[in-house]
Amino acid sequence: MSNEEKRPTMIDLARVSKTFPPDTHALDDVSLRIRQGEMIFLTGQSGAGKTTLLRLLCAIDIPDKGYIEIAGQDLSRATDTELQNLRRRIGVAYQDFKLLPDKTVAQNIAYSMEVSYRSRQFIRSQTEKLLTELHLLDKMDAPAGCLSRGEQQRVAIARAAANEPELILADEPTGNLDAETTELVMQLFHRYNEQGATLLVATHDHSIYDYPGSKIIKIENGRLAIQKPVGTGRKAETRA
Ligand SMILES: Nc1ncnc2c1ncn2[C@@H]1O[C@H](COP(=O)(O)OP(=O)(O)OP(=O)(O)O)[C@@H](O)[C@H]1O
Ligand SMILES: [Mg+2]
């Protein structure tokens, strides 16, 4: 058994399907296992099912069929309290950001830490650290709705990372960013991954795949197409 196979499972999907009316098979019989500490890039054409998969993983949506387990928690059997506790361990950067436009950047980032009862000092220092890292410190007290798309995207990423989650789900996190700013975001993700967090990043951006030890998973029309470890060019079967 390799070292990677010994790691506990963070995400387990077995035969998951999700259909939207009238007959869009957004996900079709998807099975996938992601282990703790892995960095995974989820690729596929527009409409392939990437966002649908991420929404199921953070229990915003429920599958029509199949089984989903996150950090040992069966999502279909979780109580509201168990789901709340689980969500505190997951940081999500949504494709459409979901920021509160009238709240300041700092207030948007603080939210995930406040619901976890973090101290004011922790919240302040995490906010400043992340905004410095993402070159946004000067926007800390600006209303989030006044920021450019690329700035809002970075705020969404800072909010996802702020509570030091075990799992980060990021949906097109570099879609509005130039190459230099993309690099800042990827450095942040790599830092979290090196500290043990599991990352699942949905992206079209080929420039960010190249990270030793990471894997690419491709979805085509709602089905898993390939899983490929970066750097080896080796194709693997659909279940890691
Ligand atoms: N709430 C919904 N109601 C109806 N159809 C939906 C809904 N959400 C997603 N779909 C459809 O499911 C399919 C998968 O959508 P999804 O948003 O997961 O794609 P994606 O891979 O994230 O695409 P993109 O790269 O454009 O973000 C698409 O055909 C989409 O139109
Ligand atoms: Mg999407």
- Cα separation, 9 vs 7, in Å, equals 6
What pTM, to 2 d.p., does this model score? 0.93
What are 34-89's pLDDT values in tens digits? Answer: 999 999 999 999 999 999 999 999 999 999 999 999 999 999 999 999 999 999 99
Closest atom of ligand 1 to 18 CA is 12
Indicate whether residue 95 lines ligand 1 (CB < 6 A).
yes
**Distance (Å) from CA 121 to ligand 2 centroid:** 35
Atom of ligand 1 nearest to the CA of 204: 25
Of all protein residues, the one whose alpha carbon is nearest to atom 18 of ligand 1 is 49
Asked whether the beta carbons of 53 and 30 are under 8 A apart, the reply is yes
Per DSSP, 153 falls in state H
Nearest to 35, CA basis, from 167, 189, 229: 167
Kindly give the number of the ligand 1 atom that is closest to the alpha carbon of 21. 4
**Ligand 1 site-directed mutation target among 17, 19, 23, 50, most atoms within 8 Å of CB:** 50
The SS3 of residue 142 is coil
Q: Up-side HSE of residue 159: CA atoms within 13 Å toward CB? A: 28
Nearest ligand to the C-alpha atom of residue 21:
1
CA quadruple 221, 218, 10, 95: dihedral, nearest 10: -70
Below-50 pLDDT ranges, the chain: 232-240
Pocket flag, ligand 1, residue 121 (CB < 6 Å):
no
Q: Contact 176/134 with Cβ under 8 angstroms?
A: no
Q: What strands lie across the sheet with 223-229, from one edge to the other?
A: 90-93, 167-171, 198-202, 39-43, 215-220, 223-229
Considering only the C-alpha atoms of the chain, give the largest distance between any 2 of them, rounded to a whole number of Å.
Answer: 52
Residue with tokens 């953070």: 58
> From the CA of 144, how far away is ligand 2's center (Å)?
22
* pLDDT reported for residue 3: 62
Q: Which of 113, 100, 168, 159 is nearest to 134 (CA)?
A: 159
Asked whether the CA dihedral 215, 221, 224, 227 is positive or negative, the reply is negative
Q: How confident is the model at residue 46, as a pLDDT?
A: 95
Q: Say what the pLDDT of residue 183 is.
A: 94
**CA 194 to centroid of chain Cα atoms:** 16
pLDDT of residue 237: 33
- Residue 104: strand, helix, or coil: strand
